[in-house]
Structure 1
Amino acid sequence: MKRILLFAILSMSLLGFTQTSLTYEKPPVFSECESEAIDQVKSCFNYTLQSHIYKNFKVPNIISEESYNGNIQILFEVNNEGDFKVIYADATYDELKEESRRVFDLLPKVEPATYNGKPTYVQYSILIAIPLTEPVREIEKTKEVKLSKKDSLNSILSNEFDAIADQLKPYEKLEYTSQLNIPFSHSYYARFDDEMNAIGTNSHTAAKPFVYSDVNKYYDIKAEKESLAKDTDSWVGRKLFNEHLVEIQSKDYWFTVDPILDLQVGRDGAADFSSTWNNTRGIFVQGGLGKKFNFSASVYESQGRFADYFNQYAESIRASGPDPALIPGRGIAKRFKDDAYDYPVAEAYLSYTPSKFFNIQFGHGKNFIGDGYRSLLQSDVASPYPFLKTNIKFWKIKYTSTWMSLRDVRDEVIEDKTFRTKYMANHYLSWNVSKRLNIGLFESVMWQNSNDRGFDVNYLNPIIFFRAIEFQTGQGNGNAILGLSSKYKLNNKFNLYGQFLVDEFSLSDITGGEKSWKNKLGFQLGTKYFNAFDVDNLLLQAEYNQVRPYTYAHNTVVLNYAHNNQPMAHLWGANFRELVLIGRYNYKRWFADAKFIIGQRGFDFNTDEDSFNYGGDIYGDEDFRVGNTNIKIGQGNKTNSFMTEIQAGYLLNPTTNLKVFTNIIFRDFNPEAITASTMDSNTLWFSIGVRTDLFNWYNDF
């Protein structure tokens, strides 16, 4: 955290002796400078302040001014009443920091800076050099002087820095109308779900994350954030409760910088270790260059130890090599101390919008397709991956194409000690058929780098049928999946939604009634109830998901529908049925979520006596399937599970989504047979913490 704060301070100090987050018409004015011409006020302010420091600063006795050479970095503010306040002081000795604060406390009240004719606050940074030197007043000359070519160049260079600073203007919260993604969190997206789904809107809500400009048509995020702002004038209060840590805006660009935190501590009642914890620190940067180009980056440094069932799962999907675990949804983890994990993560993307119809994004992150809590088509449960995505919107259509580079990290597919690369491309066509009905068509194909094939340009065309291309390149070289989604708005309070997935389909086997293994199908049915029982901001949701055995798998094992040992669709893979019940409520800055999941799954036994593939593991080899017919959901090591997760908390900063929370998970997991990979467990996991909510944590595997 200290390094992040120093980064922010240094970022601001790069602006020199000028205001860091707000521009002004006239700087603050000491009484000594009231008679100065307007073009001399700035130099008079500098000289008067430096003279005050020189006359009043007393080098502490423990420091020899003759032998010590160094600088004191001061960040200070002159508020809208003309009072000086030191925000941050950095020096080698604490005594120098204390003396700096004392000297600034002696400064008299001044006439405050003005903006649009009104008093405003300004922030400055200054270096105090030790040994002290008496300042010299530099008068800004305005008369015309004939300069040599060399002098002219020096003049331009010396004024350029100030010119850049002078172009700064108050931050206008441009992110809320930009082409940046709204960080995808189910909890936060619930705040504007009802407005996006009102009857008659031409919104498209399945392809996520949303961009701010799309949501801004239906829900004023900027107004929501401002309505939640706390009444505070102090710099610390504004940054903690209302604003980005750093906000910079000029005529042609803007950017913000924020720290990322996910600090948790808790207890798993069934675990042998004393506590669970997570320690994430990071930085989040977003901005825009002109009106068409935006960028975002988030970097996380994390260590953690989780509930016992979570740790076991993380280690069960570990990558090939010495590292002990793969943290679900995050990435490969190194060992930290004896029983914890170290897992760095980085996500970033560029967003370019050449016209109102077209947006293209290139980056490293996740995507999601669906209106539910789960997705059977493409979900965000796996680790981040490189992607290229285009969105085309016109009439009642939104067409999303995504190309991804994925990895298979298992021991059995490693080549030359490197992870196996595979690629995936998908298309999603969303069509608002009427004011109430939306239909979406989905297709996806997975292929590997066989025969030095690399990224197959056959799949680069965004308007094409993947199934036909798969036949042209050889069925063993690709795994195509088709899907259908739909949403119907009963009224402004009730929505129905669903998905239907086809991985492989045999009409003759279906009509034969023998439940063939070839019928790799799945479906989802769900409903949302907005402002339930006339309670504002109360969302109730019910969802049923079902996927048959062997779905998402493939006879070429590396072509399974997965990345980094995690599914690219539903968290449970295949061979399951599940009921999800969710309630979400928010009131001003307070929020509460409750989730109940009841499920039945079929696992492999993985014993010497029974090594059949029962269809739940999407990495499983289909050649070892348990049979060709009479394939049922839950076959194999049938496991019933129940999970409850309840979370409540307070939104500390609506602008950065920083929240304090408490979370309780109860999980009951009951397989018919106890095996090395399927253990009976009963977990009560309690946590409290503070978190910047930028992505979904899924604990319900």
Structure 2
Amino acid sequence: MRKTFFILSLLSASLLSAQSTDFTLGHPAYQVIELEEIRSQQGFSTTLKPISRASVYDLIGNDGGLYMSKELREYTSDSSRSRIPILGRFFTYPADLIYYEDDNLELHVNPVLQFSFGKTNDAIGSAFVNSRGAEIRGRIDKKVAFYTMLTENQARYPEYVNNVRDSTLVVPYEGFWKQYATTGVDFFRAQGYVDFGFTKSISAQLGFGKHFVGNGVRSLILSDYSNNYPYLRINTTTKVFDYTNVFAELIAGVRGGTFGLEGAGGFEKKYMAFHHLNMKIRPNLHIGLFESVMYGDSSGGLKVEYLNPIIFYRAVEQQNGSEDNALIGLDFKWNIKNRVSLYGQLVIDEMIIKEVLAKDGWWGNKQGFQLGAKYVDPFGLENLIVQAEINRVRPYMYAHEDGFTNYSHYNLSMAHPLGANFTEYIGRANYRLSDQWSFEGILMRASYGNDIGEVNYGRDILKDYLVRRPDGNGGNLEYGNTHLQGNKTDLTMFFFRATYMARHNLFLDADVTLRKESDTNGIIDTSASVLGFSLRWNMPARRHLF
């Protein structure tokens, strides 16, 4: 029924409103958006990403500088062509290898390349990323927007990234992979969508990709740490609120093979329904309410009741016998005097006020919070942002009885990379010296309670939360659970990247990563350093900050 609905919608293009493509997650444009949104007094929502190009133009207009005028050329008054197009056909405009436009079609075609090399001090010795592909985006009749990107990749990551792969069977941020040259991985990266509008205020996007909810370095609600997934996203935008629905099909678990993942027979599926209401209390003050539910079983199948875009999921989940995993919470963003932005998130997996006030360590007190601040143009340095953030998540948060209902996709967390049972502090500075030069530095300090042997202390969200610490009587400990329980482990990371843009979206990076991890029981005591250099063309930068 849903497929028929979308086919009919596409065929009725004459009834659709104007649409645009999005800035992909990690796009350099977000550096500009972050600055201009805080400086602006407009009621612009940045909480749910990706963000559409059209809405960014509504925010900054023609005042985003040379880089943004090229990125938003289809909306701005900039009509400057390249002085000498290659062979008269390529790079007619600086931002696109191939650009075509007529009364019905607007088309942008670009190569996607990344060649990175890093020297590590671990057993791997050296790391690299080799990616080649293409990106295509455009609009039909200015009413249906489309986007696709496909890259073929080989990579060898530092040992601490490989440790995550070995424990989860999945490469962080990626999906299916095969072994490459003993210590490397080989994988495809694909994403794409079709975006169309029903009215001026309501639009829908059918795609394969991922989302990020929040204004911080991390998200405790929905992040991009896991693999891409098929989704339907419905956006409703008015002057007083933004309402977003995401319905997604996820992978409940994967199987490891001799040379990577074993995909024969198909992986079992599960489903997520998510909605977020962003209320514009004032142009500079936004408060959001969200709810999500994860569900599925070995027999598969959608639950029709969760497809209602305005239902209260928790109530439906209880009516079904409370077999699914529902999360609720809120977020906020408060921009103050065009210089400061305060933001935060509160996520509740389960909470009984009586148990919280009792302070006796009931295992079901599963909550997490984020609090952060950004300061724009401090010390008289224009285009500098300094940021501080704290994230704290209690034990057993996001976990459930099995892979069908825990808050994961492809064996990776849909929220924070550290899972649960942790406290994290982040300091970040981002400086855009010019369109060509930018710098970013991040210092992260985290503590988490790791499992001891096979005992589940609440950090690993893939484990059954009904099998917890033993109570000494053959059961599981109900009370006496504490934050950071288990083998307390400290993690410190420093990351710095300097980036030079040689031409539009062709970047040269130099970065350094320093990482130290140790625990109280002497099981872990590692130090890692990575010195890397990259050439990226239309490829977003990525950090392995975990």
TM-score normalised to structure 1 length: 0.69
Partner of residue 378, structure 2: 532
Residues 187 and 226 (structure 1 numbering): CA distance in 2 closer, same or farther, change over 3 Å? closer
Q: Tell me if structure 1 keeps the 8 A contact 2:294–2:404.
A: no
| Secondary structure at 1:355 match in 2 | coil
Partner of residue 645, structure 1: 495
Determine if the alignment matches structure 1 residue 205 to structure 2 residue 16: no
Residues 240 and 666 (structure 1 numbering): CA distance in 2 closer, same or farther, change over 3 Å? farther
Distance 2:394 2:481 in 1: 8
Match of 1:672 among 507, 520, 523: 520
Partner of residue 289, structure 1: 140
Measured after TM superposition, the shift of residue 558 of structure 1 is 2.8
Q: What is the 5 A alignment of 1:36-435? A: 178-185=19-26, 188-198=29-39, 200-220=41-61, 224-225=66-67, 233-236=83-86, 239=91, 242-271=94-123, 273-318=124-169, 326-411=170-255, 417-435=265-283
Q: What is the 5 A alignment of 1:523-672? A: 523-586=369-432, 587-606=434-453, 611-626=454-469, 627-654=477-504, 657-672=505-520
Distance 2:34 2:384 in 1: 11
Distance 1:516 1:254 in 2: 58
| Secondary structure at 2:162 match in 1 | helix
Distance 1:246 1:557 in 2: 44
Give the letter for the 1:225 counterpart: Y
Measured after TM superposition, the shift of residue 680 of structure 1 is 2.7
Q: Structure 1 stretch 377-386 or stretch 190-199: which is displaced more?
A: 190-199
Match of 1:687 among 521, 532, 543: 532
Measured after TM superposition, the shift of residue 700 of structure 1 is 1.3
Distance 1:642 1:530 in 2: 26
Distance 1:228 1:652 in 2: 15
Measured after TM superposition, the shift of residue 417 of structure 1 is 4.7
Deviations 1:386-440 (A, max 9, x none): 010010011210000000100022459x999532210001110000112332110
Measured after TM superposition, the shift of residue 689 of structure 1 is 1.1
Residues 695 and 463 (structure 1 numbering): CA distance in 2 closer, same or farther, change over 3 Å? farther
Partner of residue 74, structure 2: none
Q: Tell me if structure 2 keeps the 8 A contact 1:292–1:354.
A: no
| Secondary structure at 1:310 match in 2 | helix
Deviations 1:113-163 (A, max 9, x none): xxxxxxxxxxxxxxxxxxxxxxxxxxxxxxxxxxxxxxxxxxxxxxxxxxx
Give the letter for the 1:349 counterpart: Y
Q: Tell me if structure 1 keeps the 8 A contact 2:398–2:406.
A: yes
Distance 1:385 1:299 in 2: 14
Q: Tell me if structure 2 keeps the 8 A contact 1:241–1:652.
A: no
Q: Tell me if structure 2 keeps the 8 A contact 1:240–1:653.
A: no
Measured after TM superposition, the shift of residue 339 of structure 1 is 1.7
Measured after TM superposition, the shift of residue 218 of structure 1 is 1.4
Deviations 1:648-683 (A, max 9, x none): 0111333xx3311111100011123355xxx43201
Match of 1:492 among 332, 338, 356: 338
Give the letter for the 2:468 counterpart: R
Q: Tell me if structure 1 keeps the 8 A contact 2:513–2:530.
A: yes
**Consecutive unaligned residues in structure 1, runs of 5 or more:** 1-176, 319-325
Q: Tell me if structure 2 keeps the 8 A contact 1:427–1:443.
A: yes
Match of 1:519 among 342, 357, 365: 365
Give the letter for the 2:144 counterpart: F
Q: Tell me if structure 2 keeps the 8 A contact 1:240–1:652.
A: no
Residues 524 and 480 (structure 1 numbering): CA distance in 2 closer, same or farther, change over 3 Å? same
Q: Which has the larger radius of gyration?
A: 1
The count of corresponding residues between Structure 1 and Structure 2 is: 505
Tell me which protein shows more strand as a share of its residues: 2
Deviations 1:209-265 (A, max 9, x none): 100111111123775327789996333498399231111111111111111011101
Deviations 1:86-117 (A, max 9, x none): xxxxxxxxxxxxxxxxxxxxxxxxxxxxxxxx
Residues 377 and 304 (structure 1 numbering): CA distance in 2 closer, same or farther, change over 3 Å? same
Q: Tell me if structure 2 keeps the 8 A contact 1:553–1:622.
A: yes
| Secondary structure at 2:404 match in 1 | helix
Residues 294 and 365 (structure 1 numbering): CA distance in 2 closer, same or farther, change over 3 Å? same
Tell me which protein shows more helix as a share of its residues: 1
Distance 1:557 1:253 in 2: 43
Residues 383 and 226 (structure 1 numbering): CA distance in 2 closer, same or farther, change over 3 Å? closer
Deviations 1:49-90 (A, max 9, x none): xxxxxxxxxxxxxxxxxxxxxxxxxxxxxxxxxxxxxxxxxx
Distance 1:315 1:612 in 2: 19
Give the letter for the 2:457 counterpart: Y
Distance 2:327 2:397 in 1: 10
Give the letter for the 2:391 counterpart: N
**Consecutive unaligned residues in structure 2, runs of 5 or more:** 1-17, 72-79, 257-261, 470-476
Q: Tell me if structure 2 keeps the 8 A contact 1:442–1:483.
A: yes
Distance 1:486 1:390 in 2: 21
**Does 1 or 2 have the higher relative contact order (CA < 8 Å, sep 6+)?**
2
Distance 2:100 2:243 in 1: 34
Residues 523 and 693 (structure 1 numbering): CA distance in 2 closer, same or farther, change over 3 Å? farther
Distance 1:458 1:442 in 2: 17
Q: Structure 1 stretch 188-197 or stretch 502-511: which is displaced more?
A: 188-197
Distance 1:364 1:483 in 2: 26
Residues 433 and 232 (structure 1 numbering): CA distance in 2 closer, same or farther, change over 3 Å? closer
Partner of residue 292, structure 2: 444
Residues 469 and 692 (structure 1 numbering): CA distance in 2 closer, same or farther, change over 3 Å? farther
Distance 1:553 1:366 in 2: 21
Give the letter for the 1:631 counterpart: N
Give the letter for the 2:441 counterpart: A
| Secondary structure at 1:312 match in 2 | helix
TM-score normalised to structure 2 length: 0.88
| Secondary structure at 1:571 match in 2 | coil
Partner of residue 15, structure 2: none
Distance 1:644 1:313 in 2: 19
Measured after TM superposition, the shift of residue 338 of structure 1 is 2.0
Partner of residue 160, structure 1: none
Deviations 1:185-205 (A, max 9, x none): 175412121322345312111
Q: Tell me if structure 1 keeps the 8 A contact 2:66–2:435.
A: no
Partner of residue 161, structure 1: none
Give the letter for the 1:428 counterpart: H
Give the letter for the 2:358 counterpart: G
| Secondary structure at 2:286 match in 1 | strand
Q: Tell me if structure 1 keeps the 8 A contact 2:394–2:422.
A: yes
Give the letter for the 1:422 counterpart: K
